[in-house]
Chain A
């Protein structure tokens, strides 16, 4: 067991890699009632072409399968895992993203029992034809719910504009049609390939004793017979740097229009410290341009182009990445033009000042301190960072290292007309 101390933050992180390859992290939060644990596999919606365990050739699996598998993990021969957790006073959940599937619980008592339930239910799959068929109705309704959600439609619409081939453009839940093809054999194949402990990470945060917790996990894993498994081979098509479509419009049953502008990221092979720096620089850049204290935000607000839903975001992982800027607007066309213009001007060095940079850095550090009040944030973000070779607890020093030259160079390097795209939702 290793101990990693973060002095300024007054936090201590404990770590151990189990014999079967599982990485375990424990962070004690004094004074909290709650313990929150996530058990995450490095397997998400983008992993749709890979060599299954024990096979030689690549397969292409149906869209939405990682998410479908997540749903089906909760059903066992003796019933529903939710029931076990609630008997033990815990609430359980799970989510699937582009690159991860996470199973989690939070509880204020019986932490070891809940931890055992978490580890065991994720490590003991049980799929039958009948339960797989039944789930199609439930997930079908989940998909329909998102079909009617204009924010989600704008988000995926914009990604689909930007990406030609990369599976990030496929909706995480798939479609009603694509999930119709899923069988229990598909689920077992994906499960065996991606749910090996060496492809997974356990994070426990809250009112726990780190040493006891790690011992408990070690004993639990020691009872299970895992054979060594090589790293999964995944395949992705070559993706052009340019966007696929510069603009698309969709009409929906809404009263307020939406407009989103996307910037497709370059250097999507970045990992570790380089990726962490890139994320920090991009966040500072976008905040200096579009944050609530920027003069441009004020202008756009005064001109009636934006309201408080206006936001920006940057995300990048191995193989894909994008910035998004937008929100509800009465004038989608005008807003799109202005945002693109501001980004192009920034690539030429305009709007970027030392003063704006300092303010954004302070703001990001403050916001990070707020975030680490939240066990959920720590566990989920730590895992995302770790899967990309980064460290969540380096956020403050990385932000402090950002210079105006970094911001200007990155703006020049990243922003280009042919990497910009807009997506609008208009009232029918």
Chain B
């Protein structure tokens, strides 16, 4: 039996993905809207879902809307934003209890579909505009959300690294958009964008839980209807290129710990054959607590509490991150460079390769134990334009050889070193 059984059905304007499983006591619905990252639309996209969850025709205030959810056995509903390569994704997630575990006979799933329909298709609109109060409140919240990135130094350093590394590339845009755009947004131009997004975005709905596919399809048909569209592709030509030399950017703030974030280009994405080799590269290099970065920066040199690498699946981007004392900057960078060149030179033990395969396999299997994990794994196929099942994923990891990992390592190039230095230990 396959680990995850996904049925994909073409609906009017969207794809319906159904994953029946009896693992959970709840049913999860996730609505995804994808469009290319663009300066002109990013801030509107960041504001839109929050305005929609601020009230609808039937539930005009957030109190009405939240009360309805509470009465629905504390159904959870939230919106968030993501960046997948050069695409921006808006998520609406709802989780309802399965009535089997409650003293309740009515179908909560049907009510969940009806609620999704309300929020997505029946917003609170007056004379071709959203409700002014909701838009004003959410503009204020969005400003605060963008400003608070500065307060979390790890997130701040991530954002700054991307700005420096991808100067003329939309990938440098932040998921929450740009502070300076917010004042120009209003109830009317945001409503226009709402209509545009629902007409043009690539739309996907995932339903995961103890459900029957035919029942879900019937509910989808009766509650969610959109017009057909051809999804837009992100413009690959706008991608920036690598500098001749590794760029070094230093910034100083009144903080206790320095944040070292190094951006690398991998030139390998989900759609490529050597994607799995790159996953293994990342695992051996810095993905886990047995990895080279953790072992050498933390355990041996005692320089850091965390030292890791993360791979972005669609952009060909890998980030190294560590929190260190500013006085140890040179030493930390030297150790990291050494680990990268060891990877390129093939200094990888059989043990490291086998450990990494084992934990990657484990990580994957654990990911598909959660509904959100299943959805995010499957959505990679939509974004990457390549159909890979979870079982194929596992096989591909198992098959990958050391030579293939070394060859993937050969493609990884350090691009930008960003250091947010602290004032401590200087």
Known contacts A137-B302, A137-B303; is A369 also within 8 Å of B73 by CB? yes
A298 close to chain B: CB less than 8 A: yes
- Across the interface, name the chain B residue whose C-beta is closest to A364: B74
In the complex, what residues of A have CB within 8 A of residue B61's CB?
A: 298
- The answer to whether B289 touches A91, judged by C-beta atoms less than 8 angstroms apart, is yes
B 216-250 contacts with A by CB, 8 A: none
Per-position binary interface string of chain B over residues 81-109, scored 1 when its CB falls under 8 Å from any chain A CB and 0 otherwise? 00000000000000111000110000000
Separation of A302 and B132 alpha carbons in the complex (Å): 12
Report Cα–Cα, A293/B97, bound state, in Å.
18
Asked if B21 is at the interface (CB within 8 A of a chain A CB), the reply is yes
Instruction: Please encode chain B, from 51 to 79, with 1 for each CB lying within 8 Å of some chain A CB and 0 for all others.
Output: 00000000001110011011111111000
Contact B62 A298 (CB under 8 A): yes
CB–CB B361/A89 < 8 A: yes
With the chains together, A302 CA to B136 CA distance in Å? Answer: 9
Check B351 against A307 for contact (C-beta < 8 Å): no
B370 at the interface (CB under 8 A from A): yes
> Counting CB contacts under 8 A, is A389 at the interface?
no
The residue from A108, A141, A293, A302 contacting B257, defined by CB atoms under 8 A apart: A141
Asked if A295 and B304 sit within 8 Å, CB to CB, the answer is: no
Give the chain B neighbours of A374 by CB distance below 8 A.
Answer: 370
Q: Which of B96, B137, B150, B366 contacts A302 (CB 8 A)?
A: B137
Stretch at the interface among A192-200, A239-247, A253-261, A273-281: A253-261
Complex interface: chain B residues within 8 A of A410 (CB)? none
Q: How far is the CB of A196 from chain B (nearest CB, A)?
A: 28
Min distance, Cβ A394 to any Cβ of chain B, angstroms: 15
Enumerate the 9 nearest inter-chain pairs by beta-carbon distance, A residue then B residue, closest first.
Answer: A366-B74, A89-B358, A137-B302, A363-B74, A293-B66, A144-B257, A108-B365, A31-B23, A366-B73
- The answer to whether B26 has its CB under 8 Å from any CB of chain A is yes
Quick one: given A363-B70, A366-B74, are A91 and B362 in contact (CB under 8 Å)? yes
Query: Smallest CB–CB gap between A320 and chain B, Å?
Result: 27
A87 in contact with B351 (CB, 8 Å): yes
Chain B contacts of A107 at CB under 8 A?
362
A33 interface residue per 8 A CB criterion: yes
From B359, B361, B368, B424, A144 is in contact (CB under 8 Å) with: B424
Question: Which of chain A's residues have a CB closer than 8 A to the CB of B148?
Answer: 254-256, 309, 328
Contact across chains for B302 and A365 when beta carbons are under 8 A apart: no
**Complex: how many Å from CA A372 to CA B298?**
35
Pick the residue among A91, A138, A428 that contacts B363 (CB under 8 A): A91
Interchain nearest-CB distance for A219 vs B (Å):
25
CA distance A147 to B148 in the complex (A): 17
Question: Is A301's CB within 8 Å of the partner chain B?
Answer: yes
Evaluate contact between B63 and A298: CB separation under 8 angstroms: yes
Closest to B361 in A: A89
Tell whether, in the assembled complex, residue A31 and residue B21 are in contact, meaning their CB atoms are under 8 Å apart: yes
Please name all residues of chain B whose beta carbon is closer than 8 Å to the beta carbon of A373 when the two chains form the complex.
23-26, 370-371
- How far apart are the CA atoms of A295 and B61 in the complex, in Å? 10
Contact A255 B147 (CB under 8 A): yes
Q: Return chain A residues, CB-CB under 8 Å to B369.
A: 32-34, 375
Q: Which residues of A contact B67 (CB under 8 A)?
A: 293, 359
Kindly state whether residue A304 has any CB partner on chain B within 8 Å. yes
A106-B355 contact in complex given A91-B289, A141-B257, A307-B141, C-beta closer than 8 Å = no
> Would you mind naming 27 contact pairs between A and B with Cβ atoms under 8 Å apart?
A31-B22, A32-B23, A33-B368, A86-B355, A87-B354, A91-B359, A107-B362, A138-B299, A141-B303, A141-B324, A145-B306, A147-B257, A148-B422, A253-B253, A293-B70, A298-B61, A308-B145, A330-B140, A359-B70, A362-B71, A366-B70, A366-B74, A366-B76, A367-B76, A369-B73, A373-B23, A373-B26
**A1-41: which residues lie under 8 A (CB-CB) from chain B?**
8-10, 29-34
A139 within 8 A of B: yes
Q: How far is the CB of A370 from chain B (nearest CB, A)?
A: 5
Q: Which B residues touch A308, using CB under 8 A?
A: 141, 145
Q: B1-36 interface mask toward A, CB cutoff 8 Å, 1 = contact, 0 = none?
A: 001000000000000000001111110000000000
Contacts of B101 in A (CB 8 A): 8-10, 369
* Interface residue? B183 (CB, 8 A): no
CB of B256 closer than 8 Å to a CB of A: yes
Cβ–Cβ < 8 Å partners of A30 in chain B? 22-23
Known contacts A83-B290, A307-B140, A359-B70; decide if A293 and B255 are in contact (CB<8 Å). Answer: no
Q: Are B358 and A254 in contact (CB under 8 A)?
A: no
Chain A window 348-376, contacts with chain B (Cβ cutoff 8 Å), 1 for yes, 0 for no: 00000000000110111111011011110
In the complex formed, the residue of A with least CB distance to B79 is: A308
Q: Are B3 and A369 in contact (CB under 8 A)?
A: no
- Rounded to whole angstroms, the CA-CA distance of A271 and B355 in the bound complex is 44
14 new A-B pairs (CB below 8 Å) besides A109-B362, A142-B305?
Answer: A80-B295, A91-B363, A148-B422, A302-B133, A304-B140, A307-B141, A362-B70, A362-B73, A366-B72, A366-B96, A369-B26, A370-B74, A373-B23, A373-B371
B344 close to A (CB within 8 Å): no
B144: which of A135, A138, A330 is its contact (CB, 8 Å)? A330
B415 at interface by CB-CB < 8 Å: no
CB pair B63–A141 under 8 Å, yes or no, is no
- Tell me which residues across on chain B come within 8 A of A33, comparing CB atoms: 3, 365-366, 368-369
Q: Does B288 contact A (CB under 8 A)?
A: yes
B residues in contact with A360, CB < 8 Å: 70
Let me know if A262 is at the binding interface, CB within 8 A: no
Query: Given the complex, which residues of A lie within 8 Å of B97, measured CB to CB?
Result: 366, 369-370
Bound state CA distance, A295 and B137, in angstroms? 16
- The listed residue (B26, B305, B366, B424) touching A34 by CB distance below 8 A is B366
Contact with A along B283-312 (1 / 0, CB 8 A): 000001110001100110011111000000
Is the C-beta of B151 less than 8 angstroms from some C-beta in chain A? Answer: yes
The interface bits of chain A over 107-136 (1 if a CB of B lies within 8 angstroms of the residue's CB, else 0) are 111000000000000000000000000111
Residues of B within 8 A of A134 (CB): 302
Beta-carbon nearest neighbor of A427 in chain B? B151
Q: Is the beta-carbon distance between B256 and A297 smaller than 8 angstroms?
A: no
